[in-house]
Each structure stands twice: as C-alpha cells, then as structure tokens.
Amino acid sequence: MKLAIDSTQNSGSIALANEERVIYSAYFDIKITHSETLMPAIDYAFKFCNILRSELQEIYVCIGPGSFTGLRIGLATAKGIAFALGIPLYAYSSLELAALPASGLGKNIFAAVDAKMQEVYYAYYDQQLKEIIPPSIATPEELCNLDLEDFILCGSASEMLALRFKNSYNFYTLHPVMKIPSAAGLFSIPNLLPEKHFPQILEELEPLYLREARAQVKKAKPKQ
C-alpha cells in the first residue's frame, strides 16, 4: 500500500494506492491549516478503506516549492510515518505534480504556482517532464521576458499568468477540472522520471525553499 501527500499550497490532497490502482483520493481547500486537516484526513482514509497503518509500504510527498508552513507540516508528517514504520519515502516537486496533467500532449509545459508577495514559483518542462528551466521564482513581469516556445500553462498561478502572457506567448491552458492538484499524481511521476525515484535519506531531506535562495542572491548583489 502507498500513501501520497501534498500540502504545499493552501489546498491539500492525499491518496492511497495498491499495486494496481488508486483506491482513495481526497482534495480539501478549506480555511483551516494543514496542522488541523492533514492527519485527520490520513486517519479517515485508512479507516474508510479498512486499511491498517502496518500495511503501508511506501510514502510519496511533495517537497515544494510552496507555502513554508504547509511544506514543513507535510514533510514532517511523511517523515514521521516513514520513520515509525521503517518504510521508504519518495519526494517530488510540486511543480512536477502541477505539470503532470499536461504531460504527453505534444507541447512543452510551463508550471506555475502562486508564491504570494507578487511572485510566482515556476519551472519549464518538455512533454515528458524533463526540466528545461529548473524550479525558480520570479515576478509575473519577469516571466513575460523569457524565451519560450508554444507551451501548455498549468498550476495554481495559471489564471493570473494567462492574462499577462496573452501578449507575449502562444500558449494553451487546461480544462479547470484538470487544474485541481491531486496527490494521486505522485504515483505516476516515477513512470516519467524513473531517475528521480529513489528512497530519500530522512535526516537529509529538506523542503524546497526557492524564496530563501532568491533572498540570498539579492542580498549578495553589490550596491550600485
């Protein structure tokens, strides 16, 4: 049995799968924190599916970028369960998860997640989720000056960026139902990115904090 967790944004998602298929998937976007929703959602999933915690064999988790608080809660929860049960933990980017619905459609993929503070987390992939531009952070204005071919725009920031991109790029968007982030997608990413599918060392695994890196770069710039 496998468990997937995504708490990188204001919304959250969990999923359970056996060796054959996804057997449970839940998405929640309510105005309370992941500290109040995540463990109850996981407990309910196991109870609803009549599964014991001891049956869990693997955990998949999004490590960011995204909400700092959400990242910490999701990763701490995944690490705690993995450590307690002695099972492997696999980690993927929230941008890879956001791009997954657009994979295999014959176009490059621009995945964008709202970073708040008038900035956007983004990455640019080919149709097989291979990185062309790695996860980064920028303002919407900066994103309008990239050298991009035709692409599919997806992720929680896609609606905001679509208004800004219309005069800069030729792009496509997904149907709204395909924009709902589902942790169940984490089970499919290894098929596209087998080189990233390896158990993480729990003591070394950290959230992907892009804003911290950007702040350090700005601080390092000499004054004009």
Give the DSSP H or E segment for 98. Answer: helix 94-99
**What is the per-residue pLDDT for 203?**
94
Shared-domain flag, residues 64 and 123: no
Q: List, for residues 133-161, the tens digit of each pLDDT value.
A: 999 999 999 999 999 989 999 998 999 99
Give the tens place of pLDDT for each residue, 164-223.
999 999 999 988 777 778 999 999 999 999 999 999 999 999 999 987 644 444 444 444
**Residue 73 pLDDT > 60:** yes
Looking at the structure, tell me whether residues 89 and 186 fall in a common domain: yes
For 36, list phi and psi in degrees, rounded to 5.
-95, -20
Residue 221 to residue 224: CA distance in whole angstroms? 9
Helices and strands in the chain: count of H runs, count of E runs:
7, 10
Q: How many domains does the chain have?
A: 2
Return the pLDDT at 212. Answer: 64
The answer to whether position 217 is within a domain reads no
Give the pTM: 0.90
Q: What is the DSSP string of 46-85?
A: HHHTT--GGG--EEEEE--SS-HHHHHHHHHHHHHHHHHH
173 shares its domain with 190: no
Sign of the torsion formed by the C-alpha atoms of 81, 83, 86 and 87: positive
Are 118 and 50 within one domain? no
Q: Would the pLDDT of 60 be above 90?
A: yes
